[in-house]
Structure formats: structure tokens, C-alpha cells
């Protein structure tokens, strides 16, 4: 899969897969989380104290599911949640309930981000829609200040996935697991710098309306 897509294409393919093909959004989210989890395990990271920094959109839901997969593996992991929980997507709300069942700790202390041994960035993906300010910017600055290795889910948070532009401030990741296809913004100089090594994950979302060989 060498193709790179725009935000609008990513959103269109996601919606087609869910609404026309019929694969439930939570299934796609689980595959996104499993792909990220496997890339984390296959890399040379210090997993002694992992923190997942998550927003309340579906990018955050991917990250909360990764936290649960790590926890079940016996890895010490905590969550730092950003945004209004009342506005969480249904999938992310469900992931939070599952994380709660497994007793995954939630912190609101930025020092935990700075002190972590490895950081998963799940604040914004292709849904980033404006400049990053306030608590979101503070968290991204803490991520960048940490010595830990950083893995971004789908897009490094703060990067415009169409242009690669930094929307105020953006995570500088060591690697990015991006879903379905690369994003065109990650091919720019700024996008490459912030994304690090890009892993494209097949999570069951395809550009074609039909897959010719399976019809
Ligand atoms: N919809 C789907 O089918 C799938 C989505 N996936 C994940 O979901 C992501 C897209 O999810 P969403 O569309 O929910 O969007 P995101 O989770 O990328 O971001 C949307 C959230 O961020 C907020 N937001 C945007 N810009 C902001 C800013 N500057 N400051 C503060 N808040 C801001 C929005 O209000 C919203 O709450 C993808 O990047 C991918 O990681 C995957 O789970 C795979 C399947
Ligand atoms: K992200």
C-alpha cells in the first residue's frame, strides 16, 4: 500500500467501510489498536512505565484500546485524558468503560508524561480542525519534553494530515502507526520530521468500493 490519502479520503473510506460494507466502528478501532500495539512490541522501547495521552475523539479511542492491550500484557500503563468526556465519541466512551473495568489508572499530572518510559500519542488524528492551544498544547509540550520514545497513532497530534503543517504545536514522534494508507501531509518535510518511521496498518479499510478479487 504505497498510496497516500487526504483527510477527506480517510474520512470517506472510514464511513464507507462502516456504513456500506458494514464493519462496525469498534472492530476497526480494535484493529487500529492491535496494529499499534504490535508495532510497539516489535520495537526496542522501554515499556517499564507507559503513558497513553488520549483525546475524546476516535484517535483517543484507539489509544485507550492500546492501553488496555498493554495492561493485559502485564505492562504498567496509565492514561492521561484530554477534552470534555461529555463529547467523547460512542466508541471512545466504550473504550473508557473497558479501561475502567481493567483498572487502568488515569492521571492528570503532566509530570507523569515527562517521566514516562514510553509515550503513546492519541490526542488528535485526522479530526484535528483548528490550532492547538491550552491544555492540549501543554500536553504536547510535555510529550516533546520527555526523554521517552514516542509512538503516534494515525497522525502525530498537531500535524495537519493534508499539509504537514504544525497547527500551533505538534508531537515529534519516533514512529507513527497510520491507518489504511499513509497521509499526504506525512510526506512533507515537516510531516516526516514529526512522524518518524511510518508504519501503514491494514485495518480493513480500502479505497475501492469493491475489492475486485473477492467479488
Ligand atoms: N472513524 C473510523 O472509522 C476510524 C477512526 N479511527 C481513528 O479515529 C481518528 C479520527 O477520529 P475523529 O474523527 O473522532 O477525530 P480525532 O480523534 O482525530 O479528533 C477529533 C476530536 O478532537 C477535537 N479537536 C479537533 N481539533 C482540536 C483542537 N485544535 N483543540 C482541541 N480539540 C480539538 C474535536 O472536537 C474532537 O473531539 C483517526 O485519525 C483514527 O486514529 C480508527 O479508529 C479507525 C477507524
Ligand atoms: K495522534
Where along the chain do its domains lie? 4-203
* Å from CA of 102 to ligand 1 middle: 24
Work out the percent of the chain whose per-residue pLDDT is above 70. Answer: 99
pLDDT tens per residue across span 155-203: 999 999 999 999 999 999 999 999 999 999 999 999 999 999 999 999 9
User: Which pLDDT belongs to residue 215?
Assistant: 65
Q: Judge whether residue 147 has pLDDT over 70.
A: yes
User: For ligand 1, atom 35, which residue shows the shortest CA distance?
Assistant: 57
Helices (H), 82-169: 90-101, 110-115, 134-145
Q: Is 157 annotated as a binding residue?
A: yes
* Å from CA of 214 to ligand 1 middle: 31
Cβ of residue 196 lying under 6 Å from some atom of ligand 1? no
User: Which pLDDT belongs to residue 149?
Assistant: 98
Q: Considering only CA atoms, which of 180, 183, 177 is closest in space to residue 159?
A: 183
Q: Considering only CA atoms, which of 125, 77, 121 is closest in space to residue 103?
A: 77
Q: Judge whether residue 2 has pLDDT over 60.
A: yes
What are the b/e assignments for 95-111, b being 16+ CB within 10 Å?
Answer: bbeebeeeebeeeeebe
Cβ of residue 127 lying under 6 Å from some atom of ligand 1? yes
Tell me what the pLDDT averaged over the chain comes to: 97
Secondary structure element (H or E) that encloses residue 59, with its range: helix 58-72
Q: Judge whether residue 90 has pLDDT over 80.
A: yes
Instruction: Over range 64-77, report the average pLDDT.
Output: 98
User: Which pLDDT belongs to residue 191?
Assistant: 98
Mutate which of 11, 88, 126 for ligand 1? The one with the most ligand atoms within 8 Å of its CB, which is 126
Q: Which residue has the cell 492519541?
A: 122
Q: Judge whether residue 22 has pLDDT over 90.
A: yes
Q: Give the right CATH number for 4-203 from 3.40.50.10260, 3.40.50.20, 1.20.120.1200, 3.20.20.70.
A: 3.40.50.10260
* Å from CA of 97 to ligand 1 middle: 19
Q: Judge whether residue 1 has pLDDT over 60.
A: no
* Pair 180, 24: CB distance under 8 Å: no
Instruction: Over range 143-158, report the average pLDDT.
Output: 98
Q: Considering only CA atoms, which of 15, 16, 101 is closest in space to residue 58?
A: 15
Any bridge partners for residue 179, and if so which? Answer: 201
pTM: 0.97
Enter the ipTM: 0.97
Q: What share of the chain is helix, strand, coil (3-state, %, to 5)?
A: 45, 20, 40
pLDDT tens per residue across span 95-126: 999 999 999 999 999 999 999 999 999 999 99
User: Which pLDDT belongs to residue 211?
Assistant: 80
- Ligand 1 atom nearest residue 123's Cα: 17
Measured distance CA(198)–CA(98) in Å, rounded: 28
Q: Is 129 annotated as a binding residue?
A: yes
The pair phi, psi for residue 2, each rounded to 5°, is -95, -10
User: For ligand 1, atom 39, which residue shows the shortest CA distance?
Assistant: 125
Contacts from 89-93 at CB under 8 Å and sequence distance 24+? 89/56, 89/57, 89/58, 89/61, 90/25, 91/25, 91/26, 91/29, 91/58, 91/61, 92/54, 92/56, 92/57, 92/58, 92/60, 92/61, 92/64
User: For ligand 1, atom 37, which residue shows the shortest CA distance?
Assistant: 57
* Å from CA of 213 to ligand 1 middle: 32
Measured distance CA(16)–CA(21) in Å, rounded: 6
User: Which pLDDT belongs to residue 210?
Assistant: 75
Amino acid at each position: 500500500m504505497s498510496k497516500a490519502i487526504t483527510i477527506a479520503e480517510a474520512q470517506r473510506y472510514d464511513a464507507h467501510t462502516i456504513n456500506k460494507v458494514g464493519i462496525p466502528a469498534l472492530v476497526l478501532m480494535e484493529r487500529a489498536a492491535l496494529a499499534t500495539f504490535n508495532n510497539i512490541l516489535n520495537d526496542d522501547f522501554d515499556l517499564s512505565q507507559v503513558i497513553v495521552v488520549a483525546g475524546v475523539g476516535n484517535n483517543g479511542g484507539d489509544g485507550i484500546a492500546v492501553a488496555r492491550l498493554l495492561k493485559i500484557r502485564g505492562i504498567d500503563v496509565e492514561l492521561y485524558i484530554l477534552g470534555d468526556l461529555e463529547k467523547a465519541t460512542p466508541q471512545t466512551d466504550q473504550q473508557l468503560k473497558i479501561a475502567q473495568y481493567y483498572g487502568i489508572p488515569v492521571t492528570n499530572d503532566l509530570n507523569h508524561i515527562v517521566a514516562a518510559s514510553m509515550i503513546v500519542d492519541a490526542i488528535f488524528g485526522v479530526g484535528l480542525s483548528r490550532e492547538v492551544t491550552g491544555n492540549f498544547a501543554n500536553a504536547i509540550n510535555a510529550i516533546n519534553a520527555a526523554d521517552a520514545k514516542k509512538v503516534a497513532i494515525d497522525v502525530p497530534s498537531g500535524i495537519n494530515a493534508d499539509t504537514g503543517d504544525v497547527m500551533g504545536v505538534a508531537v515529534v514522534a519516533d514512529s507513527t502507526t497510520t491507518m489504511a494508507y499513509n497521509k499526504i501531509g506525512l510526506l512533507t518535510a515537516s510531516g516526516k520530521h514529526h512522524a518518524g518511521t511510518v508504519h501503514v496498518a491494514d485495518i480493513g479499510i480500502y479505497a475501492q468500493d469493491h475489492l475486485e478479487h473477492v467479488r
